[in-house]
Amino acid sequence: MALRKVTDGATLHAVQPRQQSRLLPDLLVQLSAPQAEQRRWAARDLAAHPDAAPALGAQLMIERDSAVREALFTSLNTLANATAAQALLPLLRSDDAQLRNGAIETLASMPHLVAPCMEQLLRDPDPDVRILSVNLLGELRHKQVPQWLLLVLEQEQELNVVASAVDLLVELGDRQHMPALQKVRERFADDAYLSFAVDMALQHIGAA
């Protein structure tokens, strides 16, 4: 018995074209549409427009739908240009943990664009931003990460920021960090946890 091809017109569905324009001005309007689905499609389509990064970042600051947020981060990651990096940096100040974590994850994927901003981030007046910047170093694949961590050990005065850097050095530290780690232990001798973390980092480095 011959096999029958399933090609008759009754079984096929016509492809429906997108109704919305994909031109940049129209997509920017759609990005603030009341319908989350329309905002999500606009966010995805804006990945084809390098000039859209500021608008994508601005929408992230106010967007509440998680699927739309994901599309916005994905498009910024696809653009991966200097304006995309600048659009993500303000999210490190957000009160929303999802936004902060999304910004760190996306920024970590563009290390060559983050590098010029790193020292400024590590000197930010807000210690919470400095802690998040240290966390970013833990995800950032860049040859200067050891030097930035050394900068934190030598110049940072906030215990929690230093502790975040020391925790990273348990995995990322090398012998250049040992003198600075010992000085950190002296500076914060009254903090038992930090002393323990320093000992762990020194032990790891010494065994490497």
Enumerate domains of the chain plus CATH numbers: 21-109 (1.25.10.10), 111-208 (1.25.40)
Task: Report DSSP state, residue 31.
Answer: T
Q: What is the mean pLDDT of the chain?
A: 91
- Ramachandran region, residue 187 (left: φ > 0; alpha: ψ -120 to 50; beta: rest): alpha
For residue 24, pLDDT over 50 is answered with yes
For residue 10, pLDDT over 50 is answered with no
Q: pTM to 2 decimals? A: 0.86
What is the pLDDT at residue 208?
55
What is the average pLDDT across 92-118? 97
What is the average pLDDT across 44-72? 97
For residue 94, pLDDT over 80 is answered with yes
Give the C-alpha separation, 199 to 208, whole Å.
14
pLDDT band, residue 207 (cuts 50/70/90): low
Give the C-alpha separation, 169 to 75, whole Å.
32
For residue 66, pLDDT over 90 is answered with yes
Report in angstroms the alpha-carbon separations of 166 from 120, 121, 152: 20, 18, 9
- The terminus-to-terminus CA distance of the chain in angstroms comes to 70
What is the pLDDT at residue 11?
52
Question: What whole-number percentage of the chain has pLDDT above 90?
Answer: 88
For residue 65, pLDDT over 60 is answered with yes
What is the pLDDT at residue 164?
97
